Amino acid sequence: MKALRIMLVLAAFAVLAAVPWFGSDVLIQFGINALLLAVLAQGWNIIGGYTGYASFGNSVFYGLGSYGVGIAMAQWHLPFAVGLVFGVVLAVTFAVLLGIPVLRLRGHYFAIATLALAQVMTAIVSNVELAGQNIGLVLPPLNNDRLFYELSLGLLVLATLTVFWLTRSRFGFGLIAIRENEEGAEVMGVNTTLYKTMAFALSGVFSALAGGIHAYWVTFIDPESAFDISLNVKMIIMAVFGGPGTVLGPVVGALSLSAISEFLSSEITSLASLFFGIVVVVAVVIMPRGLADMLRRFRKTGWRYFAENIRTHRL
């Protein structure tokens, strides 16, 4: 059973890795977007899914990662890798400085506080000369979509292995304990402030790397798109759709929702976003704990699983 699952994951990985060698340009470009969204969903999973803090601040990490690469390459003429490191440093600094006060808030208050951060960052970056103010930055182009694709896939693998490690490490157990009952975790010896901040920062590292890769790929960034809050909404929907607090759920959620959304927008252009919304609402109603939970329970309870979920919503 376990061996079978590992084989399946490896096979899926091999297929994904091979896409740029047989797929069309359009498919590769779709793939880069989908993989980066999966990285974002997986990054959000660390703070939102495992630690239980629904962060709306992850698009800020993404924006900082974009600007790290943007500033390093466009302004300082440094290599891409240095830009990535710079973006990660910005994101981690942000996570530590803002995480400590903001992570004291719980539930809705935390969500609202982080929601405001993206707005503030857009305003700040729009006024920083080094960041190109509200005009943005143009990066030196690199026409190599295969490279961007494999880089994004590599990052997704790294993020997923990190989350896998969480499920069997002391650190990850501390995070889960915080999610399940923070006061209970604290009196059992979990340094909750430190752990929450570290989870926020780790989540930020992956978002920043995704932002950095994306910036170099599209060769242009501006404050509005780099700190776009709707990106944060997307990663939450994808992670929750797949199964928050599971290793593969957010990846499967991001890839499948990206595919659905792409299919809809090519087939029925005008109504695509409406249909996408319907897909998400229906999913939340019939499988509120995500795909991962659905697959696990469906085997035991069959179709009753959906009926029960609908009943608990009192529809």
Partner 1 sequence: MTPALEIRNVTRRFAGLIAVNDVSFLLQPREILGVIGPNGAGKTTLISLISGTLAPTSGDVLFEGQSLAGMPAYRRARLGIGRTFQIMRPFPGLSVLDNVAVGALFGHGGGHAKLAKAREQARAQLEFVGLGKFVDQRADELGGPGRKRLELAKALAMQPKVLLCDEVMAGLNLVEIDEVIAVIRKVRDAGISVLVIEHVIKAIKSLSDRLLVLHHGEKIADGEPDSVLANQTVVEAYLGKRRI
Angstrom distances, CA of residue 241 to CA of 36, 281, 290: 17, 10, 5
Q: Give the tokens for residue 189.
A: 């010896």
Contact 72, 132 (CB under 8 A): no
Residue 153 makes contact with partner 1 by CB under 8 A: no
Of 93, 134, 169, 301, the one binding partner 1 by CB under 8 A: 169
Q: Does 101 bind partner 1 (CB under 8 A)?
A: no
With CB under 8 A, what is the number of residues at the site for partner 1?
Answer: 19
Under rule CB under 8 A, residue 177 binds partner 1 = yes
Using CB under 8 A, which residues numbered 248 to 277 contact partner 1?
none
Interatomic CA distance for residues 200 and 246, integer angstroms: 17
Task: Indicate whether 54 belongs to the interface with partner 1 (CB under 8 A).
Answer: no
Residue with tokens 């929750």: 240
Whichever of 101 and 189 has its CB closer to partner 1, that residue is 189
Q: Roughly what angle, to the nearest 10 degrees, separates helices 25-44 and 145-166?
A: 20
Phi-psi region of 136 (alpha: psi -120 to 50; beta: other; left: phi over 0): left
Question: CB of 183: closest distance to partner 1 in angstroms?
Answer: 6
Nearer to partner 1, 98 or 166 (CB): 166
User: Which is nearer to partner 1, 190 or 251 (by Cβ)?
Assistant: 190
User: Least distance to partner 1 from the beta carbon of 50, Å?
Assistant: 11
Query: Which residues in the 182-241 window bind partner 1 by CB under 8 A?
Result: 183-192
Closest distance of CB 189 from partner 1, Å: 3
> CA–CA distance from 305 to each of 145, 220, 253, 277 (Å)?
42, 46, 19, 22
Shortest Å distance, C-beta 232 to partner 1:
25
Give the residue with the Cβ less far from partner 1, 176 or 286: 176
Task: Give min distance, CB of 298 to partner 1, in A.
Answer: 18
100 is a contact residue toward partner 1 (CB under 8 A) = no
- Per DSSP, the chain holds a count of helices (H) and strands (E) of 15, 2
170 binds partner 1 (CB under 8 A): yes
Near partner 1 by CB under 8 A, which window of 23-31, 97-105, 155-163, 172-180?
172-180
49 touches partner 1 (CB under 8 A): no
CB of 176 to partner 1, least distance (A): 7
CA atoms of 80 and 208, how far apart (whole Å): 13
Enter the tokens of residue 299.
């085997």
Sign of the CA dihedral with 238 first, then 241, 242, and 247 last: positive
Residue 188's SS3 state is: coil
Reading the block at residue 187, the tokens are: 């009196």
Binding site for partner 1 (CB under 8 A): 168-170, 173-174, 176-177, 180-181, 183-192
